[in-house]
Amino acid sequence: MATIFEKIASGEIPGEILHRDSHCFVLRDVEPRAPVHLLIVPLEPIRGLSAAGEGDRWLLGHLLLVAKKMAEKFAPGGFRVVVNDGKSAGQSVPHLHVHLLAGRDFSWPPG
């Protein structure tokens, strides 16, 4: 069964795509946790970071470089990058994605 991200990528359901290349796309989170809350989603449906393998090394790096590119445009004052893996970590869609959060101060530790 296709995830919501796969349906957005295929055009089956709409999504405000801010960036798209041959490996990933970026959209705004529908339940933002910060004034800027973007999702960087690989087109390849990897279930989560724990499901990634050595062959995904380039793609994982690409996702972070796209996050940097989006931060330059949407978060010049600083940003946080988060990857949730598994239900107990807050992953709600079983498709790897990177959260880019910005526009407010963040505390440490998160959560």
- Supply the pTM of this predicted model: 0.94
Domain assignment of residue 43, yes or no:
yes
Q: Examine the pLDDT at 110 and tell me if it is beyond 90.
A: no
What is the average per-residue pLDDT within 78-83?
A: 97
37 in catalytic set? no
Cα–Cα distance between 97 and 3 in angstroms, integer? Answer: 12
69-93 average pLDDT score: 95
Contacts of 26 (CB under 8 A, 6+ apart): 17, 18, 19, 20, 38, 39, 40, 41, 66, 70
Give the pLDDT of residue 13.
94
Query: Cα–Cα–Cα angle for 30, 32, 35, nearest 5°?
Result: 130
Take residue 97 and report the two structure tokens written for it: 């994605």
Comparing CA positions, the residue from 46, 38, 43 lying closest to residue 11 is 43
Whole-number pLDDT of residue 49? 97
Active-site choice (37, 62, 95, 97): 97
The H-or-E segment that residue 25 falls in is strand 24-28
Work out how many domains the chain is built from and give that number.
1
Q: How much is the average pLDDT of 22-43?
A: 97
User: Is residue 91 one of the residues assigned to a domain?
Assistant: no
Q: Is residue 94 part of a domain?
A: no
pLDDT band (50, 70, 90) for residue 40: very high
Question: Token match 């995830």: residue?
Answer: 3
Judge whether 70 lies within some domain: yes
Domain that holds residue 11: 4-81
Flag whether 93 is in a domain.
no
Residue 87 domain-assigned (yes or no): no
Residue 59's domain is classified under what CATH number? 3.30.428.10
| Residue 106 in domain | no
